[in-house]
Structure 1
Amino acid sequence: MSTSTVSAKKPAPQTGGGRRKLTLPWILLIIAAGLALISLVRVISGADDITSVGTVSGALQLAVPIGLAGLGGLWAERAGVVNIGLEGMMILGTWFGAWAGYQWGPWTGVLVGIIGGALGGLLHAIITVTFNVNHIVSGVAVNILALGFTQYLSNFTFDKAPGGSSKQSPRIEPITQITIPGLSDGLKDLQAKGWFLISDLAGVVGGLVTELSLLTVVALLLVPGTWWVLWRTAFGLRLRSCGENPVAAESLGVNVYKYKYIAVVVSGGLAGLGGAFLAIVSTGIYQEGQTGGRGYIGLAAMIFGNWMPGGMALGAGLFGFTDSLKLRGGSENVHAMLLLLAILLVLAAAWQLYKKKHFQAAIAGFVAVGVFVWYALTDSVPSQFVDAAPYVTTLLVLALSAQRLRMPKADGMPYRKGEGK
């Protein structure tokens, strides 16, 4: 056998420039490292509430609407459609979920909330896929239309209902909550001991088994469900191909329009489910403006997660945790997070030095010193900073993760049927 034949049969060498994917083991490792750092901060600062059962339970409830919006964004963008309209679809979910929920029960409200969000997704799909309008323009239009439409509907529905007004709905019957009595109480006792890492782990697990809504369980299952559908089925492969190279997908017989429509309608339905969760589970009532920009934060969580379900869930959990700290401990908890930020910046500086990026390392080190001095010289932070903490976290996370992002290649790109023929 000739040398050329042997060399031809050798597998091509793999390039080492690819980035490591955010797989489940890596996500669990990141969570474990983050928990250890937070435990260290808790011990040093004395802010024992940052990993309490109540904080974790509240963080989960706050993270679910963000995660559902992020999951909706992932479906749309994996098919090549940018969905800035997630906020508007969440608004539709809150209104329709509350409207049906107070009349016919919470689960009917959940179903109708999903339909309301899906209708917003359908409108976005018609505008972007069929008429090829700029995706950002369409998404902003959906947000504005949803806000005005729900305000108009409230004037002659909730305003006429007992216990309602033009800005809020009557109270909705709650969905069943699960608490494991023996396990929940035991974990609360263990968390109260204040042991390093062990008590923090008990607080985290206790928060996951205390007053857990059945709808929260459904929402959590949607994360692995989305991963399985999009990455382990032929349907998911075709859908993702529409976001990577729709022309090539069409040349192989994929109906690109159909898959884009399905993806965007599902995206709207998931955002609507997030809105229904806000109205039915989080507050038990519809209130005008209650989404509070969570659709945009969900989009940020999806980008942070690199358009992957696991990473998106991690980002949603981070934003929910920050919001929970603000609501439960206010200034004390957010002040403790300054120490965590200083430690993370020191680690970032060390990483940049390892990569021989001295300028970036110097900037990270300088900021770390400034944050640590701020923490050391103060006992609290201004109330304005406490209120802004979740949004500051969003900006910081996006800024730090921007270099590793890899969006679908045809995301937001115009496409016309017949280009692949």
Structure 2
Amino acid sequence: MRRPDSEPSGSRWRTVLLVAALGFVALSLVRVITDQDVLTSSGTARAMLVLALPIAMAGLGGLVAERAGVINIGLEGMMILGTWGAGFGGWHAGPWGAFAGAVIGGALGGLLHAVATVTFGVDHIVSGVAINLVAAGLVRFLSEGVYVGNESGGGPTQSPQMSSGPATFDVPILSSGPDLLGRLEDTGIPVIADAAGVLHGLTSDLTVFAVIGVLLLPLAWFVLWRTALGLRWRSAGENPLAAETLGVDVYRIKYLAVIVSGALAGLGGLFLVLFTGGYREGQTGGRGYIGLAAMIFGNWRPGGLATGAGLFGYSDAVRLRASSSLAVLALVLLVGIILAAIGLRDILRGRYVLGGVLLVLAGLAVVVWAVADSLPTEFTAMTPYIVTLAVLASATQRLRPPAADGLRYRRGEAR
């Protein structure tokens, strides 16, 4: 019998790929109908990657902690510590110094959370909230002591600029030299040009840090589901007492998971610092919480997590790159199509009330697109949050967190 936590079968992967393909066809159709090339341009795809990576790293940090049974609400605070560490390290040693500072800063936050929850048995939510509050005050204290009065231009709310920026590169042939993807994008052919534009954006102006961030997602899947360490890791989050009887050092696994979780959240802060060129107070903007939501949407799996983070990053990228609110209206139409498809699926499965509500919302989205000439600035600013909430809330699924997630563990103590 297949275990509930086993990996998706081949048929499920085929379904996922089919849904992704149909979704992309819908996106191409909306681009043609609305004549908003920004929806699938290479610039939008490039911006999506930059905006999605901080959320994906925070969500991945939450995933590795919760797979070991520790809820990490403190992702936002660990990301804040990571941004400060990245700003300090980048000021002194450039991009790689920023990388080291971000990982160390986030890992220290994770260590604090592990001491509180694993060793002292503090409630995980209380500890995480405390870390978020302490981190915000701590970085202001550190900035006052380190940056104020410095001749390099720092202050109580920001670090001096990084000594140098990260080098960028294009993937040969595809996005440089012959630039095959760029030529296909210029053709404007539906679906083909759209796919080329997205791939062109994802294969040009890359940094080694972006590549590391993307590769961490499949690496986390491989470690958690294809290695002995991953089996011990997940057993600590499913049934720590049973894992203990089999010789697993549950305390050590939990400590490792939470410290790695903090390091990943700090790495998310690195991408924010690389984007702005230095640390800025408040630059995380709640992305740690959004990463936590993306992790839950992804059902505690890296693939679903990446989908949630990419959705928010894409919505934000369209908003930032659009020359007018017409592109945002096109995004509203796309959301309407998605909601209609999900609503029809639910009705076919016998969920008539939910399906009917989604179809009504889909109709409202289409009406807004058809009758509105522009959108208020306030609505445009909220677009990434509204689009993400609409899709995530409608994508109903059977969520299955680790069985011992958030429970206090003591060696030899039966629950």
Band the TM-score falls in, shorter-chain normalisation: over 0.9
Determine whether 1:174 maps to 2:165.
Answer: yes
Q: Report the alpha carbon displacement of residue 131 of structure 1 after superposing the two structures with TM.
A: 1.4
- 1:134/1:15 CA distance change after superposition, 3 Å: closer
Q: Report the alpha carbon displacement of residue 183 of structure 1 after superposing the two structures with TM.
A: 3.0
Matches within 5 A, 1:14-163: 25-161=14-150, 162-163=152-153
Determine whether 1:371 maps to 2:365.
Answer: yes
- 1:27/1:170 CA distance change after superposition, 3 Å: farther
Q: Report the alpha carbon displacement of residue 270 of structure 1 after superposing the two structures with TM.
A: 0.5
- Range 178-187 or range 292-301, more displaced: 178-187
| Residue correspondences, number | 407
Q: Whole-Å Cα distance in 1 between the matches of residues 166 and 220 of structure 2?
A: 24
Q: Report the alpha carbon displacement of residue 180 of structure 1 after superposing the two structures with TM.
A: 3.9
Larger radius of gyration: 1
Determine whether 1:347 maps to 2:331.
Answer: no
Letter in 2 for 1:207: G
- Range 347-356 or range 182-191, more displaced: 182-191
Q: Report the alpha carbon displacement of residue 118 of structure 1 after superposing the two structures with TM.
A: 0.3
Q: Whole-Å Cα distance in 1 between the matches of residues 18 and 167 of structure 2?
A: 33
**Secondary structure, aligned partner of 2:148:** helix
Q: Report the alpha carbon displacement of residue 380 of structure 1 after superposing the two structures with TM.
A: 2.2
User: Residue 249 of structure 1 contacts residue 420 of structure 1 at CA under 8 Å; is this kept in 2?
Assistant: no
Q: Report the alpha carbon displacement of residue 109 of structure 1 after superposing the two structures with TM.
A: 1.7
**Secondary structure, aligned partner of 1:412:** coil
Q: Deviations over 1:387-407 (max 9, x none)?
A: 112222332244224532111
- Cross-structure match for 1:7: none
Q: Whole-Å Cα distance in 1 between the matches of residues 3 and 146 of structure 2?
A: 61
**Secondary structure, aligned partner of 1:178:** coil
**Secondary structure, aligned partner of 2:380:** helix
Residue 194 of structure 2: which of 189, 200, 207 is its match? 200
User: Residue 100 of structure 1 contacts residue 112 of structure 1 at CA under 8 Å; is this kept in 2?
Assistant: yes
Q: Report the alpha carbon displacement of residue 357 of structure 1 after superposing the two structures with TM.
A: 2.1
- Cross-structure match for 1:269: 263
User: Residue 24 of structure 1 contacts residue 310 of structure 1 at CA under 8 Å; is this kept in 2?
Assistant: no
Q: Report the alpha carbon displacement of residue 122 of structure 1 after superposing the two structures with TM.
A: 0.5
Residue 288 of structure 1: which of 271, 274, 281 is its match? 281
Q: Whole-Å Cα distance in 2 between the matches of residues 117 and 251 of structure 1?
A: 32
- Range 103-112 or range 73-82, more displaced: 103-112
Q: Deviations over 1:58-102 (max 9, x none)?
A: 100111111111111110000011111001101001101110111
- 1:353/1:122 CA distance change after superposition, 3 Å: same
- Range 114-123 or range 377-386, more displaced: 377-386
Q: Report the alpha carbon displacement of residue 175 of structure 1 after superposing the two structures with TM.
A: 1.1
- Cross-structure match for 1:5: none
Letter in 1 for 2:155: S
Q: Whole-Å Cα distance in 1 between the matches of residues 356 and 7 of structure 2?
A: 25
Letter in 2 for 1:242: A
Matches within 5 A, 1:311-326: 311-326=304-319
Q: Whole-Å Cα distance in 2 between the matches of residues 359 and 126 of structure 1?
A: 46
Letter in 2 for 1:66: I
Matches within 5 A, 1:395-414: 395-414=389-408
What residue ranges of structure 1 are gaps of 5+ in the alignment? 1-11
Matches within 5 A, 1:214-233: 214-233=208-227
- 1:361/1:27 CA distance change after superposition, 3 Å: closer
Q: Report the alpha carbon displacement of residue 413 of structure 1 after superposing the two structures with TM.
A: 1.5
Q: Deviations over 1:94-151 (max 9, x none)?
A: 1011101111221022012101100000101111111111111111110110110001
- 1:289/1:306 CA distance change after superposition, 3 Å: same
Q: Whole-Å Cα distance in 1 between the matches of residues 44 and 251 of structure 2?
A: 44
Letter in 2 for 1:111: A
Letter in 2 for 1:33: L
Letter in 2 for 1:115: I
Q: Deviations over 1:282-316 (max 9, x none)?
A: 21111110111111111111111111111111211
TM-score, normalisation: structure 2: 0.93
Query: How many percent identity over aligned positions?
Result: 51
- 1:247/1:315 CA distance change after superposition, 3 Å: same
Q: Whole-Å Cα distance in 2 between the matches of residues 290 and 131 of structure 1?
A: 32
Letter in 2 for 1:126: V
User: Residue 303 of structure 1 contacts residue 398 of structure 1 at CA under 8 Å; is this kept in 2?
Assistant: no
Residue 279 of structure 1: which of 256, 273, 277 is its match? 273
Q: Deviations over 1:302-336 (max 9, x none)?
A: 11111111111121111111111111115222110
**Secondary structure, aligned partner of 1:381:** coil
**Secondary structure, aligned partner of 1:404:** coil
- 1:96/1:250 CA distance change after superposition, 3 Å: same
Q: Deviations over 1:342-366 (max 9, x none)?
A: 1112112211221122222221222
Q: Report the alpha carbon displacement of residue 277 of structure 1 after superposing the two structures with TM.
A: 1.8
TM-score, normalisation: structure 1: 0.92
Q: Whole-Å Cα distance in 2 between the matches of residues 263 and 181 of structure 1?
A: 37
Letter in 2 for 1:412: G
Determine whether 1:248 maps to 2:242.
Answer: yes
- Aligned-residue Cα RMSD (Å) equals 2.1
Q: Report the alpha carbon displacement of residue 49 of structure 1 after superposing the two structures with TM.
A: 0.7
What residue ranges of structure 2 are gaps of 5+ in the alignment? none
User: Residue 80 of structure 1 contacts residue 408 of structure 1 at CA under 8 Å; is this kept in 2?
Assistant: yes
